[in-house]
A and B are shown apart, each in its own frame.
Chain A
Amino acid sequence: MDEKFLSIFNLYKNDIYRLAYSYTKNIMDSDDVVQNVFVKLYKSKKILEKNDIEIKKWLIKVTINDCKTIFLSSWKRKICSLTEKEENTIKVDNKEYGLLDEINKLSKTERIVIFLYYYENYKIKEISNIIKKSETNVQTILYRARNKLKKIIKEEKDEK
């Protein structure tokens, strides 16, 4: 069971961390969430018996839920403004990595949908199942997110 966990951890640790960061935009929160998620996985022997794809879907769902929990806590609401300081965010070289700063300007739901669709390559139906929204709704979120991104990029270009 330890070997299976280790294999899953090495396979998905960065993906899950990226998802957590996409939602929280904060290293400290992402660390907490990812730690909780993998500890939960380690304790869930039944989940570890499933195939890798199923386990990953479970990890994504749990990560999103944990991110929501962190944001819902009153503690988070109070100190949010402090922890989102610069030292708690990942600095990105846009020339090399592209659009992370722009993506971070989208709403939480939009960021998640973008991540799942473009990075994880999930289909609309799968995303709908993961974030528990209708397919139409996911399509709409995705459409809006793309348009917003284009707009942000255009604005940034114009500024330069």
Chain B
Amino acid sequence: MKNKISDSYKSIQISNNLENKIMGKTINRRKYNYKKLGYSLGLIVLVFTISISIVYAKQIAEIFKSWSTGVEFEDGTKVNIVENANYKEISKNARKSENLISMTHDEVEHNLGFHILDYELTTSKSMGYSTSLNSNGEIGLVHLWWSGFIDNTDGQFGKDGDKTGKVISVDISILSKGAEERYIYPFLEGKDATGEKKLDQVYEIKNLNTKAVIYVNDWDKARLTASFVYDDVYYQFISYNYTKEELIEILEQLK
């Protein structure tokens, strides 16, 4: 009886399939774990990236956002001034003013938190400073009007129609991060969209390693303009009674 009972169990044996399953969940588990760990880490990274993307969507979009501008001429041709320029990070403490206020070059730089091109032989270091605000109250656009960049006419230029003196004024525009569309649009359209004009030359400013589009306005032959973007800041050098060579010489001395 004892042997018969004992022998009865011999027909019951663990299957190979079950053995493999058990090995897979025990001894061979390490390999599986590495794989699983890889997947888990991948998943964590993915979730993290998605979360960050959602939380910082606006900021990320701004990083990848860029602006471009150019000049359209009489014959319908368009010349690009810049493509893929970045929006400037303007100091949070930058002064906000809808009206032009007078600031020196140093004050402007200190106020904005970045460099604005300068020229050693400027007549005046003072310029007008104004800001355009977004609907959330933050600065969207900064506008600088440096009328005394070069002016040896004692402020008489233009008075009584006299435009004989040699004068250079600089119009500087800065689009800030988060600038609303209404401020970006004029750049896309071309800052000097109005008025007939003819291209004189596209000049590579070696000193700044950027190209300047130089053109003449039909309605004022004495006016020669050089537009370029340097360090994501838009400059328009508006000169009167300067030859192209003279203007280029000044552009090459900017620092």
Contact = CB atoms under 8 A, between A and B. Distances in A.
B18 interface: yes
Given A34-B14, A90-B12, A118 B2 contact: yes
A143 interface: no
B27 A90 contact: no
Contacts of B10: 97
Interface stretch (A9-17, A68-76, A78-86, A131-139): A9-17
> Interface residue tally of chain B, by bracket?
20 to 34
B162 interface: no
A114 B19 CA distance: 26
A136 to B, nearest CB: 22
Given A34-B22, A38-B22, A103-B5, A5 B11 contact: no
In terms of DSSP, what is the predominant structure of the interface of chain A? helix
B201 to A, nearest CB: 79
A34 B11 CA distance: 17
A81 B253 CA distance: 96
A149 B4 CA distance: 12
Contacts, number: 70
B3 to A, nearest CB: 8
Contact of A13 (B1, B5, B8, B14): B14
> Interface residue tally of chain A, by bracket?
20 to 34
B9 A18 contact: yes
A90 B11 contact: yes
Contact of A42 (B1, B8, B26): B26
Contact of B4 (A5, A9, A99): A99
Contacts of B22: 9, 34-35, 38-39
Max chain A Cβ within 10 angstroms of own Cβ: one of B5, B8, B10, B12: B8
B14 A98 contact: no
Contact of A5 (B12, B19, B26): B26
B78 interface: no
Interface in A2-24: 2, 5-6, 9, 13-14, 17-18, 21-22
Interface of B: 1-2, 4-15, 18-19, 21-22, 25-27
28 contacts: A2-B27, A9-B26, A14-B12, A14-B13, A17-B12, A17-B13, A31-B15, A34-B14, A34-B18, A35-B18, A35-B25, A39-B22, A42-B25, A90-B11, A93-B11, A96-B11, A97-B7, A98-B8, A99-B5, A99-B8, A100-B11, A100-B12, A114-B5, A115-B9, A118-B6, A119-B6, A119-B9, A149-B5
Given A13-B19, A90-B11, 11 more contacts: A9-B26, A17-B13, A35-B21, A39-B25, A92-B11, A96-B11, A97-B8, A98-B8, A99-B8, A100-B12, A115-B9
